[in-house]
Amino acid sequence: MKVTYDAEVDILRLIFSSVPVEESDEDKPGVILDYDKDGNLVGMEILDASKRTENPLAVEYAVVGKAA
């Protein structure tokens, strides 16, 4: 998984898989979901991230339980 924040355009991206994006859908205003050719979620973009998150520059990561 990869997380990027582009401050110039204020977009936070969460990339779950490196497979090509086949289709994107703006599920809710400002939240774009990216899907592969089989319909699996491979990424997410949050527009106007500085208005929608506490701090788009900070990422906290935690593992709970055993990793698969």
The pLDDT of residue 68 is above 80: no
Global pTM reads 0.83
What is the tally of structural domains in the chain?
A: 1
Type of residue numbered 27: D
Determine the 3-state secondary structure of 2 from DSSP.
strand
Per the structure, the complete domain to which residue 13 belongs is given by 2-52
Query: Does 48 map to a domain?
Result: yes
Render pLDDT for 6-55 as a digit per residue (tens, 0 to 9).
999 999 999 999 999 999 999 899 999 999 999 999 999 999 999 998 88
Query: Does 44 map to a domain?
Result: yes
pLDDT confidence of residue 23: 97
Query: Does 60 map to a domain?
Result: no
**Contacts with 65 (C-beta within 8 Å, 6 or more apart), sequence order:** none
Query: Does 58 map to a domain?
Result: no
Query: Does 34 map to a domain?
Result: yes
Render pLDDT for 49-61 as a digit per residue (tens, 0 to 9).
999 988 888 888 8
